[in-house]
């Protein structure tokens, strides 16, 4: 009996628990909310600034790049804050509540660009973009991502939680990317229409965040972790750089962000200038996202048969092969639809497991350094994602600007058309090729059971 009680205590300390489907779905709806803003900022915000407000695409790219560096700094700061937060709701979960209203307000502010000179518009864009991304989104999404590692330490449950999260997250991007242009067109196809659409999205986002907050729970309580103990920042950072699987997770998240920014931003320009109708953005985006959603829902079952690494690797290969049709005929809508479906199938595995990779690196870091740094690990990994997306946004803008793109023109020069084709067709091939190489170095899954066994024994003794 005593031995049984000891084992039960060890399991409790390890946080190795099963999570209900209701809680998994509620958690996933938080990412649906987050991805409303992600969808707008990575897919349509640049298009709105250039083709509705008249700001130079090069200026937009520069603003986003500079802002992403500020955003990366705020990520690390927020990670340290999460690791030092102690409230009745936990240390990550309360931030979902505290940041929900500012996040919703910021969604609207992005589109209320005032009339005036290019300088006035650029300053307003810089301020509001940083308010949303650097402050509100960071204060929301970093703790939200960390929450998954605090709900359970069961590897399969984490895979399931994050798979459901990533199955639900595209609905936010679909709302933002596939619905926005038809909705804006219906509401008057001007700046006021964009603002009205943003208000609708803000209300939806706020409701989803509240559902996430009230239906999730932090359970991981470690015997060797004291509320009064504060690990020096230098010690935390040294422990972080020793965690090789955190670094690989960072790179995978960064490349996924690069792909989403490249594909999302490029799609509206490709639809308008190569296919001849910007409203084709919606069906093409849906053709990519619907297969992705369908496959992600089955990833928890797939993980029982195939490792996360191999599943994501297969997806990267499918994504590359899906571009072949566009290489043959860039302005063929049927080929574009086939390519979109293949990209959706290919991106689904990495979308479904990338956050599980990062969550597992929390345990690996604790195993190697005797420090558990959920907030810092997620925040530092997010820096890679933010910088990757920012560099891609800036690079896209600079290439288009260099090629002579004019958002207010009725026709584009041949060099601008060539640039759109190159970015939209060949860009994903390069990104997914890099992803495949990174995945070849990820081997944590085989070590994970032994690592968890040792951590359970440590924690039963009140150690980290």
CA distances from 381 to 76, 79, 157, 385 (A): 9, 10, 21, 7
Instruction: List Cβ neighbours of 302 (8 Å cut-off, separation of 6 or more).
Output: 311, 349
Angle at 42 between CA 39 and CA 44, to 5 degrees: 75
User: Is 273 in contact with 417 (CB distance < 8 Å)?
Assistant: yes
Q: What is the mean pLDDT of residues 314-321?
A: 96
For the stretch 34-51, what's the b/e string if a residue is b when 16 or more beta carbons lie within 10 angstroms of its beta carbon?
A: bbbbbbbbbbbbbbbbbb
DSSP lists the bridge partners of residue 87 as 90
Residue 163: the pLDDT is 80
Q: How far apart are the C-alpha atoms of 270 and 398, rounded to whole Å?
A: 17
Which pLDDT belongs to residue 15? 59
The set of residues, in sequence order, having a beta carbon less than 8 Å from that of 68 and lying 6+ positions away, is: 133, 386, 387, 389, 390, 391, 393, 394
pLDDT band at 402 (very low <50, low <70, confident <90, very high): very high
Could you report the per-residue pLDDT of 191-248, keeping only the tens digit for each? Answer: 999 999 999 999 999 999 999 999 999 887 655 454 445 678 788 888 888 899 999 9
Q: In the structure, what pLDDT confidence band is assigned to residue 5 with cuts at 50, 70 and 90?
A: very low
The whole-number pLDDT of residue 460 equals: 78
In the predicted model, what is the mean pLDDT of the chain? 87
Proportion of the chain above pLDDT 70, given as a percent: 94
CA-CA distance, 116 to 123, in Å (whole number)? 11
Structure tokens at 361: 């690196």
Specify the pTM: 0.72
Element (H, E) at 8: helix 2-14
- CB under 8 Å to 29, separation ≥6 — which residues? 168, 208, 211, 212
**Considering all CA atoms of the chain, what is the largest pairwise distance in Å, rounded to the nearest integer?**
80
Question: What is the per-residue pLDDT for 1?
Answer: 42
Length of the chain measured in residues:
464
- pLDDT beyond 60 at 6: no
Output the CA torsion sign for 244, 395, 51, 128.
positive
Domain layout of the chain by residue ranges: 20-217+234-460
**What CATH number was assigned to the domain covering residues 20-217+234-460?**
1.20.1250.20
Integer Cα distance of 397 and 405 in angstroms = 9
- pLDDT, residue 221, reads 67
Residue 131 contacts residue 368 (beta carbons within 8 Å): no
Round to whole Å and give the CA distance between 257 and 263: 10
């Amino acid at each position: 009996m005593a031995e049984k009680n000891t084992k039960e205590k060890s399991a409790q300390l390890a946080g190795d628990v099963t999570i209900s489907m209701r809680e998994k779905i509620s958690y996933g709806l938080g990412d649906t909310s987050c991805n409303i803003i992600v969808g707008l900022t990575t897919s349509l915000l640049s298009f709105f600034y250039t083709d509705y407000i008249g700001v130079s695409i090069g200026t937009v790219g520069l603003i986003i790049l500079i802002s992403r560096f500020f955003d990366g700094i705020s990520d690390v700061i927020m990670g340290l804050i999460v690791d030092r937060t102690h409230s009745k709701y936990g240390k990550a979960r309360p931030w979902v509540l505290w940041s929900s209203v500012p996040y919703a307000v910021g969604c609207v502010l992005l589109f209320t660009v005032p009339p005036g000179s290019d300088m006035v518009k650029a300053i307003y864009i810089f301020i509001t973009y940083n308010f949303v991304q650097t402050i509100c989104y960071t204060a929301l999404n970093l703790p939200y991502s960390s929450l998954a590692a605090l709900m359970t330490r069961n590897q399969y449950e984490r895979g399931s939680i994050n798979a459901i999260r990533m199955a639900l997250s595209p609905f936010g991007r679909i709302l933002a990317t596939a619905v926005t242009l038809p909705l804006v067109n219906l509401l008057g196809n001007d700046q006021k229409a964009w603002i009205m659409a943003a208000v609708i999205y803000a209300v939806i986002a706020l409701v989803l965040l509240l559902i996430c907050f009230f239906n999730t729970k932090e359970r991981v309580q470690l015997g060797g972790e004291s509320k009064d103990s504060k690990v020096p920042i230098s010690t935390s950072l040294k422990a972080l750089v020793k965690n090789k699987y955190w670094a690989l997770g960072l790179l995978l998240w960064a490349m996924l962000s690069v792909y989403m920014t490249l594909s999302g931003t490029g799609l509206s320009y490709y639809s308008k200038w190569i296919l001849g109708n910007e409203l084709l953005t919606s069906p093409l985006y849906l053709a990519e996202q619907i297969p992705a959603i369908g496959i992600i829902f089955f990833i928890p079952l797939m993980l029982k048969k195939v490792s996360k690494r191999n599943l994501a690797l297969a997806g990267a290969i499918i994504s590359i092969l899906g571009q072949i049709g566009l290489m043959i005929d860039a302005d063929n809508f049927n080929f574009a639809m086939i390519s979109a479906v293949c990209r959706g199938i290919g991106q689904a595995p990495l979308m479904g497991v990338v956050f599980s990779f990062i969550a597992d690196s929390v345990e690996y870091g604790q195993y190697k350094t005797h420090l558990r740094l959920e907030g810092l690990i997620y925040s530092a990994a997010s820096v890679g994602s933010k910088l990757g997306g920012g560099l891609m946004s800036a690079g896209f803008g600079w290439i288009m600007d260099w090629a002579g793109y004019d958002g207010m023109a009725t026709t584009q020069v041949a060099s601008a058309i060539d640039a759109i084709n190159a970015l939209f067709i060949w860009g994903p091939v390069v990104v997914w090729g890099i992803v495949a190489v990174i995945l070849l170095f990820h081997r944590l899954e085989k070590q994970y059971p032994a690592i968890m066994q040792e951590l359970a024994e440590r924690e039963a003794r009140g150690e980290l």
